Amino acid sequence: MPPRPSSKVPQGTPRTSPQTDTREEVSAVLGRIRGLESEMAEVIRQMQEKVQQLEYLNDFSSLLNSTLETAVVREKALEATCRLLRCETASLYLVDEKRAELYWETALGEVGKRLQKSVRLPIDDRSIAGYVAMTGESLVVNDVENDSRHFKKTRAAHPGPGESGPSFLARTMICAPLRVKGKTIGVLQALNKLPSVPPRSSLHPWPDFYDEDKRLLDTLSHQVAIAVENSRLYSDIKKNFFETCEALAEAIEQKDRYTGGHTKRVVFYSMAIAEEMALPPEQLETLRLAAILHDVGKIGIEDSILKKQAQLNDAEWKVMQNHPKMGYDIMSRVEGLREVIVGMRYHHERWDGGGYPQGLRGPEIPLIARIISVADTYDAMVSTRPYRKGLDPSYARQEILKHAGTQFDPSAVQAFDRAFSAGRLGKGSRADG
């Protein structure tokens, strides 16, 4: 018979038990679970980050559909850059085609306040932004100070966006070109990546930008380019429209050399009064255009009345009183001028209801018409006419003050008085009243 197997464990063999094996297996399984939990947490974090980035992009896209105001578009574009890429600040350069240079346009936050608007960069490889504008390619630089393209020539005296100086140190940067129809119109910069949570690996003592950040800025830069170009086109159209209206007003004034410059002065006085009343920018713009056009109806007044070298008689005065309605009838055909033409139509109404053309009273008179009324009357008093010399500005001021609450809106008169006292109404206005 063969020998029976020995029940003894060979010397040196570790003793184990079913319980030990089970504990090791459980520990290994728990370790894998914890690893999976960590991986899932990272996946969830990345997904949440992507969702947030999409929300930021969507918010900015919505903004593009809500405004064409240049300053708003550019500021919001930089805010979107900082939120999307989690960076310290952002800046925007635009291309000056005539000089083949980039000029600083906008920067964000406290950093932006310290930057010099006079900074201009050549479109070549002597600066990072210039290089990006020249090549049309995005660029990630995670050690700005040691990059050969870093613009150092004037940074100590005039540090520009993306350039180091005594009050700002650019460590990391992403530059993306703004391109529209194959043409580079500017450069968008993201500066100084902020630490991420949890921290990501970096080749430097500070957080680096990654390729994914560059892809995000490229995506955003396409939208920013369209927004900047659209806002610029809108600004050009608006500027041309204002200049056309100014030319129309000046052409009317050429009919009477004694009223030359009247429109420009009324605009100047009206804006000074409105600023004292803290009108918002959109109302200031409406007021400016209404003041430019306030006398456009005089184009329909006969020259024998308009150019008369003496005071008008009652019949002539009644004809002259038609000019607000004539101006309204002319300009009401222009779409989008609804708020403007009320300033033209009612600038001869009186606070006490004794004005024309409709005898409106008090708050029934649109605010911009009340402001133009004060400005128009003040200029009429201080300007020389064929039949009288212009009044001293201080005397004219007292006349305006005396008729607050009867001819003029008291709040507009108070604003006029503040502007006059501050010397903002030109020659003859002064701080001591």
Written as one string, the DSSP assignment of 347-406 is TT--TTS--SSS---GGGS-HHHHHHHHHHHHHHHHS-BTTBPPPPHHHHHHHHHHTBTT
Banded pLDDT at 135 (limits 50, 70, 90): very high
Question: Which of 323 and 40 is assigned the larger pLDDT?
Answer: 323
pLDDT at residue 145 is higher than 60: yes
Q: How far apart, in whole angstroms, are the C-alpha atoms of residue 136 and residue 188?
A: 12
Q: Return the C-alpha torsion angle 44, 49, 53, 56, nearest 10.
A: 110
pLDDT at residue 8 is higher than 70: no
CATH architecture of the domain 254-421 equals Orthogonal Bundle (1.10)
pLDDT at residue 155 is higher than 50: no
Q: How far apart, in whole angstroms, are the C-alpha atoms of residue 231 and residue 186?
A: 14
- Mean pLDDT along residues 159-182: 76
For the chain, the average pLDDT equals 82
Banded pLDDT at 158 (limits 50, 70, 90): very low
- Mean pLDDT along residues 27-44: 71
Tens-place pLDDT, residues 172-185: 999 999 999 889 99
Q: Put residue 278 in one of left, alpha, beta given phi > 0 → left and psi -120 to 50 → alpha.
A: left
Q: 295, 262 in Cβ contact below 8 A? A: yes
Pairing of strands 120-122, 139-141: unpaired
| pLDDT at res. 63 | 60
Most confident region among 13-22, 36-45, 209-218 by mean pLDDT: 209-218
- Mean pLDDT along residues 77-92: 87
Name the maximum alpha-carbon separation found in the chain: 151
| pLDDT at res. 3 | 58
| pLDDT at res. 154 | 41
pLDDT at residue 6 is higher than 90: no
Tens-place pLDDT, residues 225-265: 988 888 888 888 888 888 888 888 888 777 766 566 888 99
**E strands of 244-374, at which residues?**
none
396 token code pair: 């004219």
> What pTM does this model have?
0.64
- In the chain, residues under CATH classification 1.10.3210.10 are 254-421
pLDDT at residue 431 is higher than 50: no
Question: Which of 155 and 398 is assigned the larger pLDDT?
Answer: 398
- In the chain, residues under CATH classification 3.30.450.40 are 47-232
> Position of tokens 């204002």?
242
For 47-232, give the CATH class: alpha beta
Choice among 235-249, 279-293, 343-357 with the minimum mean pLDDT: 235-249
Q: How far apart, in whole angstroms, are the C-alpha atoms of residue 213 and residue 223?
A: 16
Banded pLDDT at 398 (limits 50, 70, 90): very high
| Short-list 303, 301, 307, CA closest to 320 | 301
CA distances from 334 to 211, 291, 330, 370 (A): 51, 16, 8, 23
Q: What is the DSSP letter of 165?
A: B
Question: Which of 97 and 415 is assigned the larger pLDDT?
Answer: 415
Tens-place pLDDT, residues 314-324: 898 888 888 88
- Mean pLDDT along residues 89-108: 86
Banded pLDDT at 129 (limits 50, 70, 90): very high
For residue 90, list its beta bridge partners: 190
